[in-house]
């Protein structure tokens, strides 16, 4: 099977935006999110991962209209929606807007009975987001610590949840490589399919994730690497297809690199992270031979969004 690619589109105040490690104030803005989504779809993406950051931070569902616009613009591409889904009304609203799947995060810690009921009622239409720093789950837009990753996952699997989205928060938007060691532990602890998020920086990172597909990894959410021009959606899809047809082409997962050093932000002086920046979508000739999305359909930047609670 070919690992599924889910390009990320995060929504903040009606704009496409990316955060670093989910921290408010680190956003980089990229304009109309429909342009980003349409650009990814034009390059062959079959799924998009769309996160309402305002809802995740408890500011209310400000971006539902834009989710609906994205769904309408990219069909038949499927949309996985996430961010601030804490009640049945939240879940139903996103499904009614056309989301194929909705990721529930914080509620898995705060209202596990409802989450189990939602999983039973909607089946593959619901996934549970397991956003963690190491073994400790993060809730409320990653602003509060929750339970143990593995204990919660085992409990939810027993309750009938069919799919998990695992985000290593420390890698989110950092371009330091995915946490393949932790991810391997997650896959070993569940029989359910898992989608990985956080840290992908190169095509070799995608090859390393593809090597975990036989163990139950179903997909990879990618954000910053696409927007920083490390590779394109078309490049990623070709790499994953090659890895599926030729297992020898898969890079073997290795211990993930240190995340102690914060990377430089696109458009910032060396050593300065840059906060609240606003960037124009990339145009002109791409760096290092990459091919960018055409100007009419250009995407956003950093962080992968994950199953933001």
Q: Would you please indicate which residues are annotated as catalytic (active-site) residues?
A: 10, 131
How many Å apart are CA 246 and CA 244, to the nearest integer?
6
Question: In angstroms, what CA-CA distances link 86 with 21, 120, 214?
Answer: 21, 16, 32
Q: Got the DSSP string for 246-270?
A: -GGGSPPP-PPPP--SPPPPTTS-T
Buried b (16+ CB within 10 A) or exposed e, 109-129: bebbebbbebbeebeebbbbb
| 195 contacts 164 by C-beta, under 8 angstroms | yes
Cβ atoms < 10 Å from Cβ of 132: 28
């Amino acid at each position: 099977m070919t690992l599924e690619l889910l390009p990320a589109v995060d929504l903040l105040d009606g704009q496409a935006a990316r955060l670093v490690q989910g921290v408010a104030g680190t956003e980089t803005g990229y304009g109309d999110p429909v342009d980003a989504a349409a650009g990814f779809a034009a390059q062959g993406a079959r799924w998009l991962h769309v996160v309402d950051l305002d809802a995740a931070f408890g500011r209310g569902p400000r971006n539902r209209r834009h989710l609906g616009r994205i769904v309408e613009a990219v069909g038949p591409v499927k949309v996985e929606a996430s961010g601030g889904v804490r009640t049945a009304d939240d879940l139903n609203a996103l499904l009614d807007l056309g989301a194929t799947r909705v990721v529930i995060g914080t509620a898995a810690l705060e209202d596990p009975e409802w989450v189990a009921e939602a999983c039973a009622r909607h089946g593959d239409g619901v996934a549970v987001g397991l956003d963690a720093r190491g073994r400790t789950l993060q809730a409320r837009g990653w602003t509060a610590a929750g339970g143990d990753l593995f204990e919660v996952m085992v409990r939810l699997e027993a309750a009938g949840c069919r799919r998990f989205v695992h985000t290593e928060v420390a890698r989110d938007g950092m371009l330091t490589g995915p946490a393949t060691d932790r991810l391997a532990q997650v896959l070993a602890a569940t029989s359910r399919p898992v989608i990985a998020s956080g840290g992908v920086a190169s095509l070799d990172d995608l090859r390393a994730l593809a090597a975990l597909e036989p163990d139950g990894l179903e997909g990879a959410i990618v954000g910053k690497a696409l927007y920083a021009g490390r590779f394109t959606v078309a490049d990623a899809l070709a790499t994953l297809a090659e890895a599926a047809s030729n297992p020898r082409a898969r890079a073997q997962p290795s211990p993930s690199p240190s995340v102690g050093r914060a990377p430089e932000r696109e458009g910032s002086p060396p050593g300065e992270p840059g906060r609240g920046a606003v960037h124009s979508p990339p145009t002109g000739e791409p760096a290092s031979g990459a091919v960018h999305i055409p100007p009419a359909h250009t995407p956003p930047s950093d962080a992968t969004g994950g199953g933001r609670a």
